[in-house]
């Protein structure tokens, strides 16, 4: 099923974790599919158009079982089809996050697992939520005791 010109439901639900645990990782509610469509149209399509390259979806929708298996919060926007973790080959994740921050509407944008000086480190988490986009921008690094979140993006 196509969600937008360049994104399908299959790629927004693909998950190595789901495959490993035997979970189909499919949305059960039409609202989750609708949210995925909006995420694709409002965020991912503009990103693809700007960079002119395919956007790799590392994690999109997550069922309750898959979400628990990756150790994520039960309130994660991935559960509602509102979030995706993305990368673009040949584009630093910091540059990708900076472009999104300045050019599209979003709820939350996190440059995750970022390491200064390593343009390929981590990934970009971005979400879109109808009527409640906070435009929250964070950078998450891995500290000695786990994730550390800071407001904004690195310079």
In this structure, what are the phi and psi dihedrals at residue 66, rounded to the nearest 5 degrees?
Answer: -65, -40
So what's the pLDDT on residue 87? 98
Q: Domain spanning 2-151 has what CATH number?
A: 3.30.1380.10
Q: Where are the alpha helices (DSSP H) in the chain?
A: 9-13, 16-21, 30-39, 45-51, 64-69, 93-103
Q: How far is CA 117 from CA 23, 71, 120, in A?
A: 37, 28, 9
- pLDDT one-digit tens code per residue, 7-39: 999 999 999 999 999 999 999 999 999 999 999
User: Cβ of 122: how many Cβ atoms within 10 Å?
Assistant: 22
* Assigned token pair, 135: 């435009």
Contact in structure between 128 and 42 (CB atoms under 8 Å): yes
Q: How far apart are CA 43 and CA 36, in angstroms?
A: 10
- pLDDT one-digit tens code per residue, 72-106: 999 999 999 999 999 999 999 999 999 999 999 99
- pLDDT one-digit tens code per residue, 106-127: 999 999 999 988 988 999 999 9
C-alpha neighbours within 13 Å on the C-beta side of residue 58: 13
Give all strands (DSSP E) within the chain, no chain letters: 2-4, 7-8, 56-59, 83-87, 108-112, 123-127, 136-143, 146-151
User: Cβ of 115: how many Cβ atoms within 10 Å?
Assistant: 12
So what's the pLDDT on residue 120? 87
Q: Which residue has the tokens 């609708």?
A: 34
């Amino acid at each position: 099923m196509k969600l937008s010109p360049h994104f399908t439901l299959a790629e927004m639900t693909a998950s190595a974790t789901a495959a490993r645990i035997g979970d189909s990782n499919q949305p059960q509610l039409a609202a989750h599919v609708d949210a995925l469509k909006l995420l694709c149209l409002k965020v991912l399509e503009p990103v693809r158009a700007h960079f002119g390259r395919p956007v790799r979806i590392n994690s999109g929708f997550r069922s309750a079982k898959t979400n628990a298996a990756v150790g994520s919060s039960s309130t994660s926007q991935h559960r509602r089809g509102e979030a995706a973790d993305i990368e673009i080959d040949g584009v630093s994740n910091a540059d990708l996050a900076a472009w999104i921050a300045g050019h599209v509407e979003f709820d939350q944008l996190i440059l995750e697992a970022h390491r200064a000086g390593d343009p390929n480190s981590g990934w970009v988490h971005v979400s879109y939520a109808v009527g409640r986009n906070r435009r929250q921008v964070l950078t998450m690094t891995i500290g000695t005791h786990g994730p550390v979140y800071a407001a904004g993006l690195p310079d």
